[in-house]
């Protein structure tokens, strides 16, 4: 369920936009004259009042929040309203975003007592069940239409602070729908609503049943079949502890050429993003989402103002809306001016209305977009033996790309700022001499870099046929004025990533630029590598995801897909999933803390409670291993979470004290780790000032300062005989009990 950045951005650029009318309106210079209230203005004012009515029916706004403002935005045709209520001192605020029957977000901020409130660790007073119950109640009130199709999960509870977050996902046929869901933040002690955000697309859409989909094992086999793993040498920087300097090092990595989505029914690469591009569809925030609410799903609380009163501040904003220019009027006015006149294929993309709090003036930020660059399709001409003998070009004329951003006064129409980006084509009838210039590039490379040029090979793209178009008279037009010839370095038959020579040669044969990258390091040998073993190990480390995805077509219908997907990955020569620099990554797994081996043990409450706050030890197969031994490095990570609410990078990478070897933890060493991370090591090291708090710890013990401070902080405690047992090894369960006791004793 990952983002395919390149494909999705390209597809989003084709998203559907509404046409904007260009009726006859006064010239831009005449905008400052009074405007009569048009039918469009009346309708838009009514929309704002209906939106405000719907929100106030679902949400009670305290009377003490006397200040009110709103703004609107247009995104792909959807009119969104952002309402804000606050007190005069800016200490208490409610912000709500709303569009056509759906509350998209709710945020409540109360800073009335912020200066006097100390934030410290604390466990929630509400159980997970109570938090889920409260979340469901709030969602049902705010958005009753989506309530029945979501699956709730307690996602996070803050140890530092008062919040708990419950996430919810849309589920169809028992399978999650990508991009559909949200989260709700509650007070962890009372269940009161703090904030809510939701994204919910494709209402009324039927999702294909999944009973005939490929099994997970068959889907994994398809990924293996579709993928080639290519070795590369990657140059990384590595810190040398002996020299104290960073040095370059070559590591060999295996890069897959395929990790995209596959169709869950056929196992073939999914065509979802190409289909969306070809359909000129949109997966992003769209007016189709709201217009697709069925009669059964839609609520009728937007149709009337009955039972809702407006405050003085709200009425002021409603009145202000009457005198503002509307988007179609602004577009027409801009087209009357030669500096902002747009081609007729350009359409409004985005319009944001907002208020300057200091001047109380309203402004529009408006963007327009349209057109595309010229498209050229190359078709092969074959002879009777199916050999390519020539190429035929089919040119499709497109409107030049046009983009414009304008900032203007929403009342007067005065333009304050605009910028444009317009594509302009030019003709060039002189052919680019690919072969002769390749020789020039090679000669230049040898001349400048002859000592290492033998390690480099010319890229295939160097000999690619120069692009051109053909006009109606059969004349060719070449649009490339230069070419960068590239030579890539290979060692042991493996490409060295980033090591390349580039020579830029223009049409006249002049060398415009040269560059070389050569890394002088020792390269490891290339080991034997089995694709079968690679994929066998791969799926032990990364998860196979199954989900629905889709997009809107221009006609408002939705096309959905059932997909298998895996996250992007890189392998090393030992078949381990690694990061870009070869660092081994932990295996992907669900955050499952429903341990099967702690039922009834003394530390069960401590382990399960801490897990709710993300304070966990590494575990496998749903087992906590309570009697397992613990290292100082493992313990340091959980102490950081319990005392600082974060874990530093060097702890996450497995290094607590680089100068100390990894060792099993004793109780006295546990006290030392705790006090060290707490920041008390300098005090603990003071000699001759501590009295032992336990009968079995000598005053002269080198750890007595750490143990005494740990006892004072509530971390270290005695057994029934008053002993601390400083040399006894700490188990995983006992370590969690110590941290639990520390937090419970905080007041």
- The residue that leads in pLDDT, 283 or 258, is 258
**Structural contact between residues 553 and 561, judged by C-beta atoms closer than 8 angstroms:** no
Phi, psi (5° rounding) for residue 109? -125, 125
Q: In this structure, what are the phi and psi dihedrals at residue 280, rounded to the nearest 5 degrees?
A: 55, 45
Give 3-state DSSP helix, strand, coil % of the chain, rounded to 5.
25, 30, 45
pLDDT at site 559: 93
Q: What is the mean pLDDT of the chain?
A: 83
Q: Is the separation of the CB atoms in 123 and 743 below 8 Å?
A: yes
pLDDT-derived band at 360, boundaries 50, 70, 90: confident
Model confidence at 399: pLDDT above 50: yes
pLDDT exceeds 60 at position 136? yes
pLDDT one-digit tens code per residue, 446-459? 988 999 999 999 99
The pLDDT of residue 46: 82
Top-confidence range, 262-266, 381-385, 422-426, 619-623: 262-266
pLDDT digits (tens, 9 = 90+) for 59-102: 999 999 999 999 888 754 568 899 999 999 999 999 999 987 88
Is-contact 353 363, C-beta < 8 A?
yes
3-state DSSP of 375-396: EEEEEEEECCCCCEEEEEEEEE
Greatest mean pLDDT among 294-303, 305-314, 339-348 lies in: 339-348
In this predicted structure, what is the pLDDT of residue 448? 82
In terms of Cα–Cα distance, which of 535, 678, 525 is closest to 221? 535
Is 352 within 8 Å of 73 (Cβ atoms)?
A: yes
Low-confidence winner among 471-480, 641-650, 672-681 (lowest mean pLDDT)? 641-650
Q: Average pLDDT of 625-645?
A: 87
- Would the pLDDT of 25 be above 50? no
pLDDT given at position 376: 54
pLDDT at 333 over 50: yes
Give pLDDT tens digits for 433-443: 999 999 999 99
Token pair of 689, please?
């000032």
Most confident of 203-212, 483-492, 498-507: 483-492
DSSP result, 48-112? HHHHHHHHHHHSPPPTT--EEEEEEEEETTEEEEEEEEE-TTS-EEEEEEEETTEEEEEEEEE-T
pLDDT digits (tens, 9 = 90+) for 512-560: 888 989 999 999 999 999 999 999 999 999 999 999 999 988 887 889 9
572 close to 579: Cβ distance less than 8 angstroms: no
Q: What is the mean pLDDT of residues 165-183?
A: 94
**In the chain, what percentage of residues exceed pLDDT 70?**
83
Lowest mean pLDDT among 111-115, 142-146, 613-617: 111-115
Question: What's the CA gap between 687 and 703, in Å, rounded?
Answer: 10
Q: Which residue has the higher pLDDT, 130 or 45?
A: 130
> In the prediction, which pLDDT does 290 show?
41
Question: Could you tell me the pLDDT band of residue 24, with boundaries at 50, 70 and 90?
Answer: very low
Query: Between 239 and 670, where is the model more confident?
Result: 670
- pLDDT: which is higher, 660 or 616: 616
Which whole number is the average pLDDT over 31-53? 63
What pTM does this model have?
0.68
- Rounded Cα distance between 278 and 580, Å, is 33
């Amino acid at each position: 369920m990952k983002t395919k950045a390149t494909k999705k951005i390209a597809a989003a650029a084709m998203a559907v936009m509404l046409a904007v009318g260009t009726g006859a309106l006064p010239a831009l210079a005449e905008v400052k004259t009074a405007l009569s209230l048009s039918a469009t203005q009346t309708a838009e004012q009514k929309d704002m009042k209906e939106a405000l009515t719907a929100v106030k029916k679902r949400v009670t706004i305290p009377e003490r929040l006397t200040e009110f403002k709103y703004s609107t935005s247009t995104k792909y045709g959807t009119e969104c309203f952002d309402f804000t209520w606050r007190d005069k001192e800016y200490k208490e605020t409610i912000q709500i975003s709303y569009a056509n029957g759906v509350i998209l977000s709710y945020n409540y901020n109360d800073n009335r007592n912020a200066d006097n409130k100390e934030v410290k660790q604390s466990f929630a007073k509400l159980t997970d069940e109570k938090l889920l119950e409260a979340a469901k109640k709030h969602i049902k009130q705010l958005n009753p239409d989506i309530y029945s199709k979501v699956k709730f999960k307690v996602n996070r509870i803050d140890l530092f602070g008062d919040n708990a977050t419950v996430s919810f996902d849309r589920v169809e046929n028992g399978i999650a729908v990508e991009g559909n869901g949200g989260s709700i933040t509650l007070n962890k002690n009372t269940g009161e609503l703090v904030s809510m955000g939701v994204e919910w697309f494709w209402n009324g859409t039927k999702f294909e049943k999944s009973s005939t989909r490929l099994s997970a094992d068959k889907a994994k086999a398809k990924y293996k079949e579709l993928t080639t793993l290519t070795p590369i040498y990657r140059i990384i920087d590595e810190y040398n502890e002996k020299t104290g300097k960073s040095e370059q090092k070559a590591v060999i990595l295996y890069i897959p050429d395929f990790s995209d989505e596959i169709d869950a029914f056929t196992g073939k690469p999914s065509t979802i993003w190409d289909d969306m591009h070809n359909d000129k569809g949109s997966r992003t925030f769209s007016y189709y989402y709201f217009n697709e609410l069925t009669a059964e799903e839609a609520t009728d609380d937007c149709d009337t103002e009955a039972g809702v009163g407006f405050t003085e501040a709200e009425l002021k904003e409603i009145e202000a809306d009457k005198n503002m220019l509307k988007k179609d009027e602004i577009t027409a006015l801009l087209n009357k001016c030669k500096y902002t006149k747009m081609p007729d294929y350009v359409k409004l993309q985005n319009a944001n209305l907002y208020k300057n709090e200091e001047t109380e003036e309203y402004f529009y930020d408006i963007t327009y977009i349209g057109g595309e660059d010229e498209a050229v399709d190359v078709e092969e001409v074959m002879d009777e033996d199916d050999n390519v003998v020539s190429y035929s070009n089919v040119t499709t004329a497109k409107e030049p790309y046009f983009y414009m951003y304008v900032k203007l006064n929403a009342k007067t129409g005065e333009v304050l700022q605009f910028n444009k980006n317009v594509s302009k084509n030019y003709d060039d009838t002189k052919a680019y001499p690919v072969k002769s210039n390749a020789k020039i590039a090679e000669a230049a490379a040898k001349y400048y870099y002859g000592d290492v040029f033998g390690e480099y090979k010319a890229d295939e793209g160097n000999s690619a046929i120069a692009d051109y178009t053909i006009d109606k008279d059969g004349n060719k037009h070449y649009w490339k004025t230069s070419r960068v010839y590239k030579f890539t370095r290979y060692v042991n038959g493996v490409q060295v990533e980033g090591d390349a020579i580039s020579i830029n040669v223009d049409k006249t044969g002049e060398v415009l630029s040269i560059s070389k990258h050569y890394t002088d390091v020792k390269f490891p040998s290339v080991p034997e590598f089995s694709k079968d073993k690679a994929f066998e190990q791969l799926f032990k480390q990364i998860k196979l995801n199954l989900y629905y995805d889709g997009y809107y077509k221009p006609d408002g219908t939705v096309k959905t897909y059932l997909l298998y997907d895996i996250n992007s990955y890189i392998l090393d020569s030992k078949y381990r999933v690694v990061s870009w620099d070869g660092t081994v990554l932990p295996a992907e797994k669900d955050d499952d803390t429903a341990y099967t081996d702690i039922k009834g043990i003394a530390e069960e409450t401590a382990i399960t409670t801490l897990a709710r706050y993300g304070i966990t030890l590494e575990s496998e197969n749903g087992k906590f291993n309570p009697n397992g031994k613990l290292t100082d490095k493992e313990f340091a990570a959980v102490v950081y979470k319990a005392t600082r609410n974060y874990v530093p990078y060097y702890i996450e990478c497995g290094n607590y004290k680089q100068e100390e070897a990894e060792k099993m933890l004793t109780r006295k060493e546990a006290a030392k780790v705790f006090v060290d991370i707490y920041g008390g090591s300098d005090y603990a090291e003071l000699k001759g000032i501590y009295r032992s708090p336990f009968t079995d710890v000598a005053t002269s013990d080198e750890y007595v300062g750490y143990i005494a401070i740990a006892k004072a902080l509530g971390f270290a405690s005695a057994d029934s005989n008053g002993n601390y047992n400083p040399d006894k090894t700490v188990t995983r369960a006992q370590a969690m009990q110590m941290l639990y006791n520390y937090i419970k004793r905080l007041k």
